[in-house]
Structure 1
Amino acid sequence: MDNANRKKLLKFQQNEITEYRVYSTLASIEKDENNRKVLLSIANEEIKHYHILKKYTGVTPKPNRWRIFKYYWLARILGITFAIKRMESSEQNAHNNYAGYTGYADLTELAEAEEKHEKELISLIQEERLEYMGSVVLGLNDALVEFTGALAGFTLALNDSKLIALTGGITGIAAALSMASSEYLSTKSEAGKNKRPIKAAIYTGIAYIITVAALIAPFIFIGNVLAALGTMLCIALFIIALFNYYYAVARSESFRKRFGEMAILSFSVAAVSFVIGFALKKFTGIDI
Structure 2
Amino acid sequence: MNRTTKNLLALQRDEITLCETYRRLARSEKDAGRQAVFVRLLQDEIRHCDALRSHTGCEVAPDVKRVVRYVWTGRMLGPAFVARQMERREKGTELGYARYCKGAEFVQIGLDERRHGEELTRLAAGVRLSYMSSVVLGLNDALVEFTGALAGFTLALNDPRLVALTGGITGIAAALSMSASEYLSTKTDRKGEKHPLRAAGCTGAAYILTVGILIAPYLIFSDALVALGVMLAAALLVIALFNYYYAVVRRESFRRRFLEMAILSFGIAGISFLIGYLLKLIVGVDV
TM-score (norm: length of structure 1): 0.90
* Farther-moved stretch of structure 1 (208-217 vs 87-96): 87-96
Aligned counterpart, 1:6? 5
Do the aligned partners of residues 49 and 194 (structure 1) sit closer, same or farther apart at CA in structure 2, a change above 3 Å counting? farther
* Farther-moved stretch of structure 1 (52-61 vs 160-169): 52-61
Aligned counterpart, 1:228? 227
Deviation of residue 282 (structure 1)?
1.6
Aligned counterpart, 1:64? 63
Where structure 1 has 5 or more consecutive residues not aligned to the other structure, the ranges are: none
Q: Structure 2: how far apart are the matches of 1:133 and 1:39?
A: 24
The correspondence of residues 157-236 of structure 1 with structure 2, limited to 5 A, is: 157-236=156-235
Amino acid at match of 2:105: D
Do the aligned partners of residues 260 and 214 (structure 1) sit closer, same or farther apart at CA in structure 2, a change above 3 Å counting? same
Q: Which secondary structure does the structure 2 equivalent of 1:37 belong to?
A: helix
Deviation of residue 203 (structure 1)?
0.7
Amino acid at match of 1:112: L
Runs of 4+ aligned residues of structure 1 deviating over 6 Å after TM superposition are: none
Amino acid at match of 1:242: L
How high is the sequence identity, in percent, across the aligned residues?
A: 52
* Farther-moved stretch of structure 1 (271-280 vs 80-89): 80-89
TM-score (norm: length of structure 2): 0.90
Q: Structure 2: how far apart are the matches of 1:187 and 1:270?
A: 30
Q: Structure 2: how far apart are the matches of 1:95 and 1:193?
A: 41
Q: Structure 1: how far apart are the matches of 2:213 and 2:100?
A: 51
Amino acid at match of 2:189: E
Q: Structure 2: how far apart are the matches of 1:5 and 1:73?
A: 33
* Farther-moved stretch of structure 1 (237-246 vs 69-78): 69-78
Aligned counterpart, 1:271? 270
Amino acid at match of 1:74: T
Amino acid at match of 1:96: L
Aligned counterpart, 2:98? 99
Q: Which secondary structure does the structure 1 equivalent of 2:66 belong to?
A: helix
Amino acid at match of 1:120: E
Q: Structure 2: how far apart are the matches of 1:155 and 1:120?
A: 51
Aligned counterpart, 1:143? 142
Deviation sequence 1:117-172 (CA, Å, 0-9, x none) = 433344225556x4322211111111000011001111112222222111111110
- Do 2:151 and 2:273's aligned partners in 1 also have CA atoms closer than 8 Å? yes
Q: Structure 2: how far apart are the matches of 1:150 and 1:100?
A: 55
- Do 2:16 and 2:62's aligned partners in 1 also have CA atoms closer than 8 Å? yes
- Do 2:87 and 2:117's aligned partners in 1 also have CA atoms closer than 8 Å? no
Do the aligned partners of residues 219 and 284 (structure 1) sit closer, same or farther apart at CA in structure 2, a change above 3 Å counting? same
Aligned counterpart, 1:281? 280
RMSD: 2.3
- Do 1:148 and 1:215's aligned partners in 2 also have CA atoms closer than 8 Å? yes
* Farther-moved stretch of structure 1 (56-65 vs 256-265): 56-65
Amino acid at match of 2:67: I
Where structure 2 has 5 or more consecutive residues not aligned to the other structure, the ranges are: none
- Do 1:177 and 1:205's aligned partners in 2 also have CA atoms closer than 8 Å? yes
Q: Structure 2: how far apart are the matches of 1:92 and 1:231?
A: 39
The correspondence of residues 14-93 of structure 1 with structure 2, limited to 5 A, is: 14-89=13-88, 93=92
Q: Which secondary structure does the structure 2 equivalent of 1:170 belong to?
A: helix
